[in-house]
């Protein structure tokens, strides 16, 4: 997924530095662009003269204005404002440097401002902070950024805060290093965004990955990275495609709902990492061609949800899949129920575990699929289970079958199991045994083997052979 472009949105601030509400210094230079887009041409400024380190600088105008750029030199200012009440844009070329004491983008409500950083080498910011004001402010990265840190050439951090959007407007890959903290959210429209050992601290505001129609975006959280964010949206727009990957020793902490594949195709892969969320919603408005899948893999792959998990499907496919040692713990209910034309699946591989404090609710056309072989079997522990008419149970054909007579408990529900599966798909010779508080599967040579074993235990077991529906 290299060489995608992407957009990363941030940030409505609860408060801004005094710069946002204080008038600029008296020695102000205002951009006119009357001659060209050259920052270093004196006649492009009012009063005439290129700004120096003692000048307050204002770039503000209409949408069709000629905006300044710095190609291969240093632009100076004391306090720089891009967009006060109108619009503004400043572009830094590959070897340009912008030096100032402060930089404020989109100061007033309704204003729009872009700071554009170009090139593989990229322009440099030699200032302590970048602040988004009350309008729409963006940091725009063009061309491929193999690594990016919010740091000055001296190594000091460049802080960001306020209403600020980070934008990648070409198909590119960017790796964020170090720590990035601010009061806003994050929006990834297009491209690859990697947190490589970084700390992305946005605990109360949204992370949105491919939120709009036709967006394509990948977010990778790896090498011990931690992203703490507010409610998270993955593939929210029609025709969008998004992938979020959480690798070993890395964490995605969502303080709110994790909505995956709302109207576009989305994959969340928890490959040895950890995802924590207040709730999870899969595929709530999927088209027929859409997919919303969470996959939890590996000995350390974990998902922790304090509230409910809804596997919806609508008209597409929604699946919550745990395998290869992956585990999930759900504090509320798990509801698996597709829309009129969709499919919703809860799938556990051979070595996987799921703990549900509340109820597991399998609606009409929901599928519970559990892998069993000679080396192991999954286990679901739920407070209670409700099985609706039309729900299905399936065990895929194992690569290595267990020995004949093997019996496996795959689900336990101390508060009881209500309803029965309408459709059962088991390998030849397998049997599903439903008891009041548990489900078991068995591999037998003949159903007669179970006559004494189960009918004499007083539990009124329901036995269904693999060939019955």
DSSP string, 73-109: SEEE-SEEEE-SSSEEEEEE-TT-EEE-SEEEES-ST
Please report whether residue 445 resides in a domain: no
Of residues 303 and 17, the one with the higher pLDDT is 303
Query: Strand, coil or helix: what is 454?
Result: helix
DSSP string spanning 146-209?
EEE-SB-TTS-B-EEEES-EEEE-SSBEEEE-SEEE-SS-EEE-EEEEEEES-EEEETTS-EEE
Structure token digits, residue 308: 């409910």
Q: What's the Cα-to-Cα distance from 404 to each of 57, 179, 382, 385, rounded to whole Å?
A: 81, 56, 28, 28
In this prediction, residue 200 carries a pLDDT of: 80
pLDDT band at 191 (very low <50, low <70, confident <90, very high): confident
In this prediction, residue 51 carries a pLDDT of: 97
DSSP 314: T
In this prediction, residue 461 carries a pLDDT of: 39
Name, in order, each residue with C-beta under 8 angstroms of 104's C-beta and a sequence gap of 6 or more: 16, 19, 20, 79, 80, 81, 82, 131, 132, 133
Q: What share of the chain is helix, strand, coil (3-state, %, to 5)?
A: 5, 50, 45
Please report whether residue 269 resides in a domain: no
DSSP string spanning 13-75?
-S---GGGTSPPPSSEEEE--SS-SBTT-GGGEESSS---TT-EEEE-B-TTSPPPEESSSEE
User: What's the count of helices (H) and strands (E) in the chain, helices before strands?
Assistant: 1, 46
Structure token digits, residue 52: 């120096």
Please report whether residue 250 resides in a domain: no
Q: What percent of the chain has pLDDT over 70?
A: 82
Least confident of 129-143, 281-295, 365-379: 129-143
pLDDT band at 52 (very low <50, low <70, confident <90, very high): very high
Please report whether residue 227 resides in a domain: no
In this prediction, residue 396 carries a pLDDT of: 96
For residue 117, pLDDT over 90 is answered with no
Least confident of 6-15, 17-26, 101-110, 457-466: 6-15
Please report whether residue 35 resides in a domain: yes
Which candidate, 288, 289, 286, 329, places its Cα nearest to that of 311? 286
Please report whether residue 108 resides in a domain: yes
458 HSE (CA, 13 A, CB side): 0
Largest CA distance in the chain: 100
Mean pLDDT of 41-49: 97
Of residues 182 and 27, the one with the higher pLDDT is 27
Name, in order, each residue with C-beta under 8 angstroms of 266's C-beta and a sequence gap of 6 or more: 209, 210, 234, 235, 240, 241, 242, 243, 244, 260, 291, 292, 293
pLDDT band at 338 (very low <50, low <70, confident <90, very high): confident
Least confident of 126-140, 236-250, 380-394, 403-417: 126-140
In this prediction, residue 357 carries a pLDDT of: 98
Mean pLDDT of 452-468: 38
Which candidate, 387, 348, 339, places its Cα nearest to that of 370? 348
In this prediction, residue 455 carries a pLDDT of: 42
Which candidate, 221, 288, 205, 314, places its Cα nearest to that of 254? 205
- CA 112, chain centre distance (Å): 27
Residue 78, number of CB atoms within 10 A of its CB: 20
In this prediction, residue 147 carries a pLDDT of: 55
Mean pLDDT, the chain, as a whole number? Answer: 84
Please report whether residue 272 resides in a domain: no
Mean pLDDT of 62-83: 94
DSSP 459: S
Its pTM stands at 0.77
Of residues 186 and 232, the one with the higher pLDDT is 232
Least confident of 68-82, 138-152, 315-329: 138-152
Least confident of 124-128, 130-134, 290-294, 324-328: 124-128
Q: What's the Cα-to-Cα distance from 14 to each of 227, 282, 320, rounded to whole Å?
A: 20, 31, 36
How far apart (Å, rounded) are the C-alpha atoms in residues 380 and 421? 16
Vertex 204 angle, CA 200 and 206, to 5°:
75
For residue 450, pLDDT over 50 is answered with no
Mean pLDDT of 288-303: 96
How far apart (Å, rounded) are the C-alpha atoms in residues 216 and 375? 39
Contact 208, 182 (CB under 8 A): no
Least confident of 95-104, 151-160, 451-460: 451-460
Mean pLDDT of 11-30: 48
In this prediction, residue 193 carries a pLDDT of: 80
Contact 199, 181 (CB under 8 A): yes
CA dihedral 187, 190, 196, 198 (to 10 degrees): -10
For residue 4, pLDDT over 50 is answered with no
Size (the chain), residues? 469
Show the domain range for 29: 1-175
Of residues 123 and 121, the one with the higher pLDDT is 123
pLDDT band at 196 (very low <50, low <70, confident <90, very high): confident
Contact 192, 220 (CB under 8 A): yes
Counting the structural domains of the chain, the total is 1
Q: What's the Cα-to-Cα distance from 131 to each of 177, 203, 228, rounded to whole Å?
A: 20, 18, 21
Name, in order, each residue with C-beta under 8 angstroms of 259's C-beta and a sequence gap of 6 or more: 231, 232, 233, 234, 236, 280, 281, 284
Structure token digits, residue 438: 């548990």
For residue 16, pLDDT over 50 is answered with no
Please report whether residue 290 resides in a domain: no
For residue 13, pLDDT over 50 is answered with no
Backbone angles phi, psi at 461, to 5 degrees: -65, 150
pLDDT in tens, 266-284: 999 999 999 999 999 999 9
């Amino acid at each position: 997924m290299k060489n995608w472009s992407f957009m990363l949105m941030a940030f409505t601030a609860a408060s801004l530095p005094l710069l946002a509400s204080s008038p600029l210094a008296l020695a102000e230079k205002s951009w006119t662009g009357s001659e060209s887009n050259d920052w270093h041409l004196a006649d492009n400024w009012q009063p005439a003269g290129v700004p120096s380190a003692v000048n307050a600088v204002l770039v503000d105008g209409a949408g069709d204005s000629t905006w300044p750029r710095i190609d291969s030199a240093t632009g100076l200012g004391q306090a720089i404002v891009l967009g006060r009440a109108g619009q503004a844009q400043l572009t830094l070329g590959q070897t340009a440097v912008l030096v100032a004491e402060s930089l404020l983008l989109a100061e007033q409500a309704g204003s729009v401002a872009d700071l554009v950083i170009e090139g593989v080498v990229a322009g440099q910011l030699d200032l302590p902070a970048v602040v988004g004001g009350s309008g729409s402010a963006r940091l725009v990265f063009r061309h491929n950024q193999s690594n990016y840190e919010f740091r000055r050439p001296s190594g000091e951090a460049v802080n960001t805060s306020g209403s600020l959007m980070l934008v990648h407007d070409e198909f590119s890959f960017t790796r964020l290093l170090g720590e990035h903290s601010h009061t806003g959210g994050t929006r990834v429209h297009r491209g690859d965004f990697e947190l490589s050992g970084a700390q992305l601290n946005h605990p109360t505001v949204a992370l949105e990955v491919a939120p709009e129609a036709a967006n394509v975006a990948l977010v990778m959280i790896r090498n011990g990275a931690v992203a703490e964010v507010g409610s998270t949206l993955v593939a929210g727009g029609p025709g969008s495609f998004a992938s979020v990957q959480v690798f070993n020793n890395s964490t995605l902490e969502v303080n709110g709902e994790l909505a995956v594949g709302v109207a576009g195709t989305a994959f969340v892969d928890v490959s040895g990492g950890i995802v924590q969320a207040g709730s999870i919603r899969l595929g709530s408005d999927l088209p027929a061609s859409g997919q919303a899948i969470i996959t939890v893999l590996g000995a350390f792959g974990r998902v922790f949800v304090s509230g409910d998990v809804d596997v919806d499907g609508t008209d597409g496919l929604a699946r919550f899949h745990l395998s290869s040692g992956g585990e999930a713990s759900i504090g509320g209910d798990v509801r698996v129920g597709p829309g009129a034309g969709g499919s919703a699946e809860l799938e556990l591989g051979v070595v996987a575990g799921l703990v549900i404090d509340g109820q597991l609710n399998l609606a009409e056309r929901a599928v519970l699929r559990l892998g069993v072989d000679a080396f192991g079997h999954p286990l679901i522990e739920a407070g209670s289970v409700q099985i609706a008419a039309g729900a299905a149970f399936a065990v895929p054909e194992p690569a290595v079958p267990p020995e004949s007579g093997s019996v496996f408990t795959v689900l336990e529900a101390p508060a009881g199991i209500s309803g029965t599966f309408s459709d059962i798909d088991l390998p030849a010779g397998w049997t599903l045994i439903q008891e009041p508080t548990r489900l078991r599967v068995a591999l037998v040579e003949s159903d007669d083997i179970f006559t004494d074993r189960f009918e004499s235990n007083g539990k009124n077991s329901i036995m269904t052979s693999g060939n019955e529906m």
